[in-house]
Amino acid sequence: MIDFIDPIYILTILFFVLALQRMSDPKTARSGIVYAGAAMLVAVLVTFFVPGIGNLPWIVVGTAVGGFLGFYAAKRVKMTDMPQMVAIFNGMGGGAAASIAAVELVAYTESTGFLSLAVAGGLIGSVSFSGSVIAFLKLQGWMTQRSVTFPGQQPTNIAVLVVAGISGGLLLVFAGGFWLWPFFLLALGYGILMTLPIGGADMPVVISMYNALTGVAVALDGFALVDTSAGAAAYAMIIAGTLVGAAGSFLTIVMARAMNRSLANVLFAAYGAKVEEGGTVSGALKPIDIDDAAVMMAYASKVIITPGYGMAVAQAQQKVKELMDALESKGVTVKFGIHPVAGRMPGHMNVLLAEAGVPYDRLFDQEEINPEFPSADVVVVIGANDVVNPAARRAGSPLQGMPILDVDRSKNVLVLKRGQGKGFAGIENELFYKDNARLLYGDAQETVAKLVQAIKKL
């Protein structure tokens, strides 16, 4: 029979690369993912024709069940809940990779070099699975978003990882069933333990990292399968997994750099677990009422809006779009300044504002918008805190060196805040005490709605 499976897998990979390439421009991005989706569908269908494949009814059932669950969950979820959806689907990929490794390890009878790759794939896939599940629970609010710590945490975590590795080694040496259990249980446990101390605002880094890890686990599984009857699928997995490993690593680095912290610091420092006693801020918090704020904005020539996670929590993106429209109808130039780690995943704010219908040519990243702040009449900070804290420029601050949005350099800063709480880093925000800062307390969605009404009346 003519081999039609390999050429189709090769084309699938080609379409994956094309999809990523088309993602460099918002105009072409969607067509790219549609191509990749079609290619994936064809790849899955031809897999039913791999010579010698059995258990077909169960494959159909499994694909249908998983496909339905994934489709249903992804269709229903609100845009503000996207970070946890991305986390859980990533975890599923890690779990699938770990399960494939487990199949290989259960099945083997003699030790070969390939099986050490299956052990590595099983370890990384398991960590990615359980870690992503914890990230999902945190983001979904089903467990605390703060850093969870206990005495002796890091030594415990390292011990768990080391013993998992040793079990993996013994599993290879003794070709044996028993060692599968400690190996997989400890690997899963390590994923949980590793994610517990990571707090909410560090999630963009962690989600990107687990994305990369799942990619690596898939590639390792591919290596483990190269010499089996699944040879063709194995190469597709190796390439796709490597592409994702590269993408995830890239995002992880970008996110960590945007906080000026090393990946090790994000993972192991339990940042935000302790609330620091900062008493060094001088000045007073100066509230403002809605009408004054509306006047200030409506008669400005340029307004920059800088959203943060608080906008997502309050589901305020739609009202923020209305605010933009109201201001523009008064002849005000409106731009958005987006910090790379604002929110809970890379690009979170861009997605929410796009959902609300804000044209993407109004969205500017940190480097583009920072030179504009001195010429802005009003900056509106909506639910952002650490990413606009000028303390980051000062030596000795816990935020020291973090690249921030220079909102304090504008003429007026309007801060929308739920209450008098501190940011994730647990320190006072010096911005709020500046002479040019005014505070509007309340739920962001309600406050922005009132501002829109007040501006329209002017």
Task: Please list every residue from 18 through 77 that binds another protein, using CB under 8 A.
Answer: 19-21, 23-27, 29-30, 32-34, 36-37, 40, 43-44, 47-48, 50, 52-56, 58-59, 62-71, 73-75, 77
Query: Residue 372 contacts by C-beta under 8 Å, 6 or more apart in sequence?
Result: 302, 304, 335, 337, 364
Cα angle, residue 85 at apex, residues 84 and 86 outer, rounded to 5°: 90
DSSP sequence for 139-165: HHTSS-SSPP--TTHHHHHHHHHHHHH
Find the binding residues for another protein in span 206-225 (CB under 8 A).
Answer: 207-208, 211, 214-215, 218-219, 221-223, 225
Rounded Cα–Cα distance for residues 239 and 233 (Å): 10
Tokens of 83: 């970070």
| 237: contact with another protein by CB under 8 A | yes
For residue 361, indicate whether it is catalytic: no
Interface with another protein (CB under 8 A), residue total: 122
**283/457 Cα distance (integer angstroms):** 33
By CB neighbour count within 10 A (0-12 exposed, 13-18 middle, 19+ buried), where does 456 fall? middle
Using DSSP bridges, classify how beta strands 302-307 and 378-382 pair: parallel, antiparallel or unpaired: parallel
Which listed range, 195-203, 304-312, 351-359, 395-403, lies at the site for another protein (CB under 8 A)?
Answer: 351-359
202 binds another protein (CB under 8 A): no
Give whichever of 16 and 424 is closer to another protein, judged by the CB atom. Answer: 16
Cβ proximity of 35 and 53 under 8 Å: no
One of 248, 272, 307, 403 touching another protein (CB under 8 A): 248
* Binding residues for another protein restricted to 301-340, rule: CB under 8 A: 338, 340
Q: Which is nearer to another protein, 36 or 270 (CB)?
A: 36
Where does this chain touch another protein (CB under 8 A) — which range of 226-234, 272-280, 404-412, 445-453? 226-234
Query: Which among 3, 25, 81, 386 is annotated as catalytic?
Result: 386
Nearer to another protein (CB atom), residue 200 or residue 241: 241
Q: Annotate each residue in 162-201 with x if it binds another protein (CB under 8 A) or - if it does not, as one string.
A: ----------------------------------------
Q: Can you tell me the distance from the alpha carbon of 21 to that of 414, in angstroms, rounded to the nearest whole number?
A: 39
Nearer to another protein, 127 or 413 (CB): 127
Cβ 24 to another protein, closest distance in Å? Answer: 4
Query: Under DSSP, is residue 380 helix (H, G, I), strand (E, B) or coil?
Result: strand
Verify binding: residue 16, another protein, rule CB under 8 A.
yes
Regarding 17 and contact with another protein (CB under 8 A), the answer is yes
Quick one: 452 exposed, middle or buried, by C-beta within 10 A (0-12, 13-18, 19+)? Answer: buried
CB of 299 or CB of 360, closer to another protein: 360
Smaller CB distance to another protein: residue 50 or 175? Answer: 50
**Binders of another protein among 72-111, rule CB under 8 A?**
73-75, 77, 79, 82, 85-86, 88-90, 92-93, 95-97, 99-100, 102-104, 106-107
Please list the residues that pair with 336 across neighbouring strands.
305, 363
Q: Is 120 one of the binding residues for another protein (CB under 8 A)?
A: no
Are the beta carbons of 2 and 226 closer than 8 angstroms?
no
What is the rounded distance in angstroms from the CA atom of residue 9 to the CA atom of residue 300? 57
Catalytic residues: 386
